[in-house]
């Protein structure tokens, strides 16, 4: 897994779509940051790079929540990354120009490991994560951040990361002030009404060789309530030699909009019913169907009243060591309810 390929690239482009913490509450900060640095395993035996994209929402002056994507780099036998969900205690200092925060939460990881004979295992697991961050506010929009994470899975490598980077206040106003989440004006406004999109892109199988293929999809999207979308999609993952999957997905999305409704972002989850023509489920059964969780992020730009450009990242979590990431870009037509 290379630094900006496979599972990693999408989070740099689309993260953080999940701007949904505390919908309906009075919120005071919406912070998106990118940091990079070094990773060391326990005992400092081995090390690599790390990078992280983090969305943080302050619920109160001294309490925040966050979701982050963390790429832990490469050490022998492990290419690991994942998402961290954390609660933070926050101490503002120097008239709110600096903040020190302590975080604790759960880290859901994906670890690509080699198997004898040249195959690859996709190990999934959950681990506690403990974090310390220092943030300095440079202006009403920009800040810098130093981040330390300690990740302690019970049955995988334990690591500590140290990273530094910058962030952007992503709210409606030019500084963190109490108000609604995003730009949706009231409880009756939908982020999405109706939208049909055609996509093209690339799929990447999560192995040590990162086999790739062209991928395609079509999607119908409709807002159910102001910040919740539903989609039905057909996906073709191409033919990267070790899989050849295609199928249908249905997902619920948490979505939001910013900058006068020109930009929308979101995160989705749902079942993916597929056929893998390279991996029959049982001997004698041809091209059997199976179901996998499909987790996705999206970023859309409204080009005109009825036209949208949309980026989507899909992660397929398999049960037979064939996890895959699907990177898609498409153009969609929107129409009112």
Cα(160)–Cα(40) distance, rounded to whole angstroms? 5
What is the average pLDDT value for the chain, to the nearest integer? 85
Q: 1 pLDDT band (50/70/90 cuts)?
A: very low
Q: 29 pLDDT band (50/70/90 cuts)?
A: low
pLDDT at 306 over 70: yes
Cα(215)–Cα(192) distance, rounded to whole angstroms? 25
User: Is-cis flag, bond preceding 16, omega within 30?
Assistant: yes
Determine the CATH number of domain 194-335: 2.40.160.20
pLDDT at 31: 85
With contact defined as beta carbons under 8 Å apart, do 279 and 286 qualify?
Answer: no
Burial grade of 24 (CB within 10 A; 0-12, 13-18, 19 or more): exposed
Q: Which tens digit of pLDDT belongs to each residue from 202-254? A: 999 998 888 999 999 999 999 998 889 999 999 999 999 899 999 999 999 98
Q: Give the total residue count for the chain.
A: 337
Cα(306)–Cα(300) distance, rounded to whole angstroms? 13
pLDDT at 257: 82
pLDDT at 169: 80
**pTM score, two decimals?**
0.81
Q: What are 74's strand-pairing partners?
A: 79
Tokens 């949904």 sit at which residue? 20
Structure tokens, 333 = 């037509």
Measured CA angle at 232 (ends 229, 235), to 5 deg = 130
**Residue 206 in 3-state DSSP?**
coil
Structure tokens, 104 = 């604790």
Cα(192)–Cα(261) distance, rounded to whole angstroms? 10
pLDDT at 139: 85
| Integer CA distances (angstroms), 120 to 23, 148, 158, 212, in order | 40, 30, 21, 15
Structure tokens, 233 = 């999609």
* Mean pLDDT on 66-91: 93
Do 21-169 and 194-335 agree at the fold level? yes
Fold of 21-169: Porin (2.40.160)
Which residue, among 112, 41, 123, 124, has the nearest Cα to 77 in the 3D structure? 112
- Give the domain ranges of the chain: 21-169, 194-335
With contact defined as beta carbons under 8 Å apart, do 167 and 142 qualify?
Answer: yes
């Amino acid at each position: 897994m290379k630094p900006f390929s496979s599972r990693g690239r999408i989070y740099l482009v689309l993260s953080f779509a999940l701007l949904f913490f505390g919908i309906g509450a009075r919120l005071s900060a919406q912070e998106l940051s990118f940091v990079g640095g070094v990773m060391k395993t326990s005992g400092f035996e081995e090390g690599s790079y790390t990078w992280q994209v983090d969305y943080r929402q302050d619920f109160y002056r001294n309490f925040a929540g966050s979701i982050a994507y963390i790429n832990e780099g490469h050490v022998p036998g492990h290419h690991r990354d994942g998402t961290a969900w954390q609660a933070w205690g926050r101490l503002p200092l120097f008239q709110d120009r600096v903040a020190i925060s302590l975080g604790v939460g759960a880290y859901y990881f994906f670890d690509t490991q080699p198997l004898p004979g040249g195959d690859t295992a996709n190990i999934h697991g959950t681990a506690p994560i403990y974090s310390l961050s220092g943030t300095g506010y440079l202006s009403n929009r920009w800040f810098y951040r130093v981040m330390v994470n300690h990740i302690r899975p019970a049955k995988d490598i334990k690591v500590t990361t140290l990273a530094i980077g910058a962030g952007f206040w992503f709210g409606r106003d030019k500084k963190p002030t109490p108000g609604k989440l995003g730009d949706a004006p009231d409880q009756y406004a939908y982020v999405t009404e109706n939208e049909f999109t055609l996509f093209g892109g690339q799929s990447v199988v999560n192995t040590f060789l990162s086999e790739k293929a062209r991928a395609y999809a079509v999607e119908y999207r409709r807002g159910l309530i102001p910040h919740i979308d539903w989609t039905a999609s057909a996906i073709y993952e191409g033919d990267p030699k070790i899989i050849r999957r295609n199928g249908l997905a249905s997902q619920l999305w948490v979505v939001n909009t910013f900058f006068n409704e020109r930009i929308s972002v979101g995160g989705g989850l749902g079942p993916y019913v597929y056929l893998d023509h390279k991996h029959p489920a049982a001997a004698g059964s041809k091209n059997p169907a199976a179901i996998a969780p499909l987790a996705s992020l999206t970023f859309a730009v409204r080009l005109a009243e009825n036209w949208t450009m949309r980026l989507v990242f899909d992660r397929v979590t398999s049960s037979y060591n064939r996890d895959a990431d699907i990177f898609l870009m498409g153009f969609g037509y929107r129409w009112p309810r």
